Amino acid sequence: MPNVLITGCSSGIGRALADAFKAAGYDVWTSARHPEDVAALQAAGFQAVQLDVNDGPALAQLAGHVGELDVLINNAGYGAMGPLLDGGTEALQRQFETNVFAIVGVTQALFPALRARKGLVVNIGSVSGVLVTPFAGAYCASKAAVHALSDALRMELAPFGVRVMEVQPGAIDTSFAKNAGAQAELLINEKSPWWPLRDGIRARSQASQDKPTPASLFAADVFKAVQQSQPPRLLRSGNGSRALPLMAALLPKGVLETVLKKRFGLGGTL
């Protein structure tokens, strides 16, 4: 029986992926940070572990339990929203620790297991790493870094027979917007120079729920790609996943920035 390990499975994309692989007969390992989410995953029939993806010793212990591994899906992540200078370097570091550093840490810990089966690494990026918007700079930067890391890992792991696929979701129906909105509200206050633009900040935090694709359909696309004898280097799935990168590629930079500034209330002066 093939097996897969998926990080960040408490809800949304991670849980949908776990359901899709389980339905296809995979032995599914899942992780979540909170005990109640781990319990829910175990009750649903998954092998579930409580895991902080930035905890090196915990990752080493997990690798010992898993043994050999066919597929690793680096899904754990979150979106830090708000002006870059309001969040500062502390918010940027937290964003990169979970969305970027953890991908290297988890993959490093599980590399022997993947090498044994000549497995596949799937990194969940985002179209936000291609089309950068205001009030999501830390998140966009982290996902752009995921794209670069995926390209580098693909070349570096090739001699060992381990493949790498990057996935760039568009708008997917998950709790991402709710969580991102909560993150944004932590920064929005009257002391911020961007306080007059708070409606634009809130609008950006909810942008991922613009006609979202059901998470189950997205998971089905990912599973179908994983099953291919030669999985694609890049998979785009979900509403906007093709149109937004095309817009970023074709529109002159100045025009694109003008459109985005108008969209999120940055057209005037403060």
What residues are annotated to the active site? 139, 143
Q: For the range 41-50, what are the long-range contacts, defined as Cβ-Cβ under 8 Å and sequence gap of 24 or more?
A: 41/9, 41/10, 41/15, 46/9, 46/18, 46/22, 48/9
d(CA 13, CA 176): 9
Whether 226 contacts 71, CB under 8 Å:
yes
Whether 235 contacts 221, CB under 8 Å:
yes
Whether 264 contacts 200, CB under 8 Å:
yes
Helices (H), the chain: 12-23, 35-43, 56-66, 84-96, 102-117, 137-157, 176-187, 198-205, 215-226, 243-250, 253-263
d(CA 113, CA 119): 8
Of 245, 97, 93, the closest CA to residue 166 belongs to: 245
